[in-house]
Chains A and B, each alone.
Chain A
Amino acid sequence: MSFLQIENLNMSIYGIDILKNVSLSAAKGEIIGVIGESGSGKSMTAFSVMNLLPAGAGVSGEITLDGQDLLAKSEAEMCAIRGSDIGMIFQEPMTALNPVKTIGDQVAETVLIHGNATRSEARAIARDTLNRVGLPAEQFPLSRYPHELSGGQRQRVVIAMAIALRPKLLIADEPTTALDVTTQAQILDLLKQLVAEDGMCLMLITHDLGVVAEVADHIVIMKTGEVVESGETHALFRDMQHPYTKALFAASSHVPDKGDARGSKKPLLEVRNAVRDYTMPRKSVFGKPQSFRAVNDVSFVLHDGENLGLVGESGCGKSTLTRAILGLEALQGGEIRIDGVPVEAGTHMSHDLRRKMQVVLQDPYGSFNPRHKVARLIAEPLHLLEVEPKGAERRQAVEEALISVGMQPSDADKYIHEFSGGQRQRIAIARALILRPDLIILDEAVSALDVSIRAQILDLLTDLSSRLNLSYLFISHDLSVVCSVTDRVMVMNAGQIVEHGKTEDVFTNPQHDYTKTLIAAAPSLKDALEKENN
């Protein structure tokens, strides 16, 4: 029998089937990748192993760890197992730590709660474990609070909490999804190293095929609560059987058909020496306020009909730049012009100018007012027109916008919660399209979507761009997405554009060190498989 064995696991919540006959197994020292899109049941499988399921859950089947039947354990016995035999890491490092306790206390708590250690012993173990996960004592004393750490550092603390007692099984639920690519690469390396050192079994749950292809020994592919395919990583990718696996694989490396490059020489968006400073809190009561330069002397031109990419990690200034282009924040230096007209932040900005550009944001859940119907949501930008269409005319504009993004006219009478994430993003695009703008700014517009949905939205975007002669400023941290849809790309780091050029050139032959690091850090399914084949 394998070290971790799940046999015919069925789970339902208030009678709704969530998991159906899930079976998987993993050996000691092995990394098993569990892949699936949202709603596939991959996290619920992990929570079943931990026996931390939501209220109303009923489980049947068998889960054994090192010969122990976990489903037969009482809650008290499970409390003794959690944290000592099984450790778990979560997706969201920003909220996974208690904000009012020091990192030392939180790591030591794992040791204390399982007894067998005095307070000072527990703190010594906490110190050792934090050192192990790359948080040395000089910079990261035990007295640090979570808010003083970055996302990647917090994830290291969560890992330290999970491995403090050297568990036999470590479950990592999307441990790098919320992190930048370079941080992601570091965290994955750390996990691999810990598995090798402690000989534990790692169950790595992710939606990113690139991540598992690089790390996992075995892969389990899940869809709507069922395992559709499993096997040794490279064998599985070489010889995909299930249509869903093939579809997932195709979607993750999907390149939409861009058509011919249309770029004219007419500049649509010009940014010249843009500078944006933020005022920081004063260090002393009478001291001069410090400032932080988020955008530092950025210049570029986006031509009519062109798709331009802007790539960078969190905090690089790309969102600040976006807000400045949209006229939501004033610059401290330089200028931004749309079609030759300068953008002025605030109420001074003319409706004429606002009409020329629209934006689609990352969060398809948070960017709509839940109390308005879709018709009202989509028609919102219409007030920017000199003569605002009313009645049937307005309705027609809404329906046209919906049809152009592949939705039904009848969807106009529904509320936003009735749609899936992908559909909401289509509605967001429809809202941007209704004014027939020249430029759409896509700020991480596909980052929150599953790969197959993402592929559909990317197809839609490229189709719209050639049909309606739209220009995109495509902002993302995801290199593969930017690579697939843009003509030219700019790489931004610490407020500056460090490299720009034709998309293919930048990705195949990066010049700047930062671009090289970024490309090397990005997990790529293709590269991982090629490496294996050679």
Chain B
Amino acid sequence: MLRYSLKRLMSLGLSLLAASAVIFLAIEVVPGDPASYMLGINAQPDTISALREELGLNVSALSRYVTWVTGMLTGDFGTSYTYRTPVVDMIGDRIMISLPLAIYALTLSTLIAFPAGILAASKRGSVTDVSIMGATQLGVAIPNFWFAMLLVVVFSINLRWFSAGGFPGWDEGLFVGLKALTLPAIALALPQASILARVMRSALIDTMNEDFIRTARAKGLTRRQAMWRHALRNAMIPVLTIIGLQFSFLMAGAIIIENVFFLPGLGRLVFQSISQRDLIVVESVVMLLVFAVVLVTFLVDIAYAAVDPRLRGRS
């Protein structure tokens, strides 16, 4: 198990290094010089070159890459070209919204999907199963921004239970913060929960047809006992894979929902930075998202091994 974890950790490090190189190169080839963009079309060449100097753009690409990577290792992500504030502070503010939102949505999605998937699988072919599967079909089909607007209409405008958008900040208290994130989290969780419930159901049904379930039944376990004791853990591998993918998506892919609810999250930050040629911010946020994805993949790998002893290797 330890050897397996170390191996995964090594591949995590290598993935990050490779990703940083790719991100840096991709941004290098993007047309548009930040300095001339910031100063406008009428800027004098010497003003531009002065600004380039100030932004540290006139040294070689390699040394800029090294500065960037070593800076990140020490927590220095550079300074935003546009706002002239440390990138790390900008990201810090945003991540305090994006990360809790992702975790909130994923928790909701798991809490909905597990019971729904298990119930549907255990009552396969029944009215319950058909209704749950119908609902998940709908959940996958509905665009989440539309569902988000629907939530706003019902819960903010008509019932007035939640505010329609914005984020008061965590200083107002945990409950206030969570309350502000509730509608966005529900909007994000709906399609994820639908997918997860379907995966859970089919994985469980597949596992229930395995030979070892028959063996368990021959020992005297009821169908329900065989499912809880033997099938569930075996069905977790595909479910964990999907959860991992969903978390990565929720971290970065919430741009539309952030816009609907006016949440200053990472998605909106990337969007703004790209349109303002604030390349250093783009680079850093993308790198951060890659880090989150790679980290989640690592955690999922560890979870695989915890679930399935065959992956632990000869320990």
* A100, B214: Cβ atoms closer than 8 Å: no
B271 at the A interface (CB under 8 A):
no
Looking at B18-26, B53-61, B180-188, B222-230, the stretch in contact with chain A turns out to be: B222-230
Looking at A85-93, A241-249, A356-364, the stretch in contact with chain B turns out to be: A85-93
User: Which of B218, B229, B309 is A99 in contact with, Cβ under 8 Å?
Assistant: B309
**Which residues of the partner chain B approach A285 to less than 8 Å between Cβ atoms?**
6-7
B89 at the A interface (CB under 8 A):
no
A13 at the B interface (CB under 8 A):
no
* A161, B219: Cβ atoms closer than 8 Å: yes
A425 at the B interface (CB under 8 A):
no
The total of chain A residues at the interface (CB under 8 A) is 32
CA distance A33 to B109 in the complex (A): 53
User: Which of A76, A99, A113, A147 is B219 in contact with, Cβ under 8 Å?
Assistant: A113
**Which residues of the partner chain A approach B215 to less than 8 Å between Cβ atoms?**
88, 90, 96-98, 158, 161
User: Which of B211, B220, B234 is A113 in contact with, Cβ under 8 Å?
Assistant: B220
Q: Which residue of B lies closest to A82 (CB)?
A: B220
* A109, B219: Cβ atoms closer than 8 Å: yes
B171 at the A interface (CB under 8 A):
no
CB distance from B127 to the nearest CB of A (A): 17
A79-B220, A161-B219 known; A95+B308 contact, CB < 8 A: no
* B309, A52: Cβ atoms closer than 8 Å: no
* B217, A100: Cβ atoms closer than 8 Å: no
User: Which of A88, A95, A98, A101 is B218 in contact with, Cβ under 8 Å?
Assistant: A88
B46 at the A interface (CB under 8 A):
no
CA distance A50 to B216 in the complex (A): 12
User: Which of B6, B212, B218, B309 is A82 in contact with, Cβ under 8 Å?
Assistant: B218
* B220, A98: Cβ atoms closer than 8 Å: no
* B217, A52: Cβ atoms closer than 8 Å: yes
**Which residues of the partner chain B approach A79 to less than 8 Å between Cβ atoms?**
220-222
A372 at the B interface (CB under 8 A):
no
A113-B225, A147-B309 known; A97+B212 contact, CB < 8 A: yes
A528 at the B interface (CB under 8 A):
no
Q: Which of A50, A84, A109, A158 has the most CB of B within 10 A?
A: A109
CB distance from A63 to the nearest CB of B (A): 16
CB distance from B296 to the nearest CB of A (A): 22
A75 at the B interface (CB under 8 A):
yes
CB distance from A124 to the nearest CB of B (A): 18
A83 at the B interface (CB under 8 A):
yes
**Which residues of the partner chain B approach A215 to less than 8 Å between Cβ atoms?**
none
A52-B214, A97-B212 known; A82+B219 contact, CB < 8 A: yes
* A96, B307: Cβ atoms closer than 8 Å: no
* A75, B222: Cβ atoms closer than 8 Å: yes
Q: Which residue of A lies closest to B219 (CB)?
A: A83
**Which residues of the partner chain B approach A82 to less than 8 Å between Cβ atoms?**
217-220
Within 8 A of B (CB), among A128-165: 145, 147, 158, 161-162
A114 at the B interface (CB under 8 A):
yes
Q: Which residue of B lies closest to A164 (CB)?
A: B219
B84 at the A interface (CB under 8 A):
no
**Which residues of the partner chain A approach B225 to less than 8 Å between Cβ atoms?**
113
CA distance A162 to B6 in the complex (A): 40
A476 at the B interface (CB under 8 A):
no
CA distance A83 to B308 in the complex (A): 26
**Which residues of the partner chain B approach A110 to less than 8 Å between Cβ atoms?**
219-220
B64 at the A interface (CB under 8 A):
no
**Which residues of the partner chain A approach B221 to less than 8 Å between Cβ atoms?**
79, 83, 109, 113
CA distance A50 to B215 in the complex (A): 11
Q: How large is the interface on B (under 10, 10 to 19, 20 to 34, 35 or more residues)?
A: 20 to 34
**Which residues of the partner chain A approach B7 to less than 8 Å between Cβ atoms?**
285
CB distance from A292 to the nearest CB of B (A): 14
CB distance from A102 to the nearest CB of B (A): 8
Please encode chain A, from 99 to 124, with 1 for each CB lying within 8 Å of some chain B CB and 0 for all others: 11100000001100110000000000
B172 at the A interface (CB under 8 A):
no
CA distance A400 to B308 in the complex (A): 51
CB distance from A325 to the nearest CB of B (A): 32
Within 8 A of A (CB), among B203-248: 210-212, 214-222, 225, 229-230, 233-234
A519 at the B interface (CB under 8 A):
no
Please encode chain A, from 44 to 60, with 1 for each CB lying within 8 Å of some chain B CB and 0 for all others: 00000010100000000
Please encode chain B, from 1 to 44, with 1 for each CB lying within 8 Å of some chain A CB and 0 for all others: 00000110000000000000000000000000000000000000
* A52, B218: Cβ atoms closer than 8 Å: yes
CB distance from A20 to the nearest CB of B (A): 25
Please encode chain B, from 183 to 205, with 1 for each CB lying within 8 Å of some chain A CB and 0 for all others: 00000000000000000000000
CB distance from B203 to the nearest CB of A (A): 13
* B220, A96: Cβ atoms closer than 8 Å: no
**Which residues of the partner chain B approach A384 to less than 8 Å between Cβ atoms?**
none
CB distance from A152 to the nearest CB of B (A): 17
Within 8 A of B (CB), among A152-198: 158, 161-162
**Which residues of the partner chain A approach B220 to less than 8 Å between Cβ atoms?**
79-84, 110, 113-114
CA distance A145 to B314 in the complex (A): 11
Q: Which residue of A lies closest to B234 (CB)?
A: A100
* B308, A92: Cβ atoms closer than 8 Å: no
**Which residues of the partner chain A approach B307 to less than 8 Å between Cβ atoms?**
100
CA distance A312 to B225 in the complex (A): 42
* B210, A95: Cβ atoms closer than 8 Å: yes
CA distance A113 to B224 in the complex (A): 13
A83-B219, A113-B220 known; A90+B310 contact, CB < 8 A: no
**Which residues of the partner chain A approach B308 to less than 8 Å between Cβ atoms?**
99-100
Q: Which residue of A lies closest to B223 (CB)?
A: A75
Q: Which residue of A lies closest to B236 (CB)?
A: A100
Q: Which residue of A lies closest to B306 (CB)?
A: A100
* A100, B233: Cβ atoms closer than 8 Å: yes
**Which residues of the partner chain B approach A101 to less than 8 Å between Cβ atoms?**
230, 233
* B211, A96: Cβ atoms closer than 8 Å: yes
CB distance from A123 to the nearest CB of B (A): 16
* A90, B219: Cβ atoms closer than 8 Å: no
CB distance from A403 to the nearest CB of B (A): 40
Question: What would 19 A/B residue contacts be, using CB atoms closer than 8 Å?
Answer: A75-B222, A79-B220, A80-B220, A87-B218, A88-B218, A90-B211, A92-B211, A95-B212, A98-B230, A98-B234, A99-B310, A100-B233, A100-B309, A101-B233, A113-B219, A145-B309, A145-B310, A158-B215, A161-B215
- The 4 nearest A-B residue pairs measured at CB: A83-B220, A83-B219, A95-B211, A88-B218
* B contact residues vs A (CB 8 Å cutoff): 6-7, 210-212, 214-222, 225, 229-230, 233-234, 307-310, 313
- Having A80-B220, A109-B221, A145-B310, one finds 4 other A-B pairs with CB under 8 Å, namely A96-B211, A100-B309, A109-B229, A162-B218
* A contact residues vs B (CB 8 Å cutoff): 50, 52, 75-76, 79-84, 87-88, 90, 92, 95-101, 109-110, 113-114, 145, 147, 158, 161-162, 281, 285
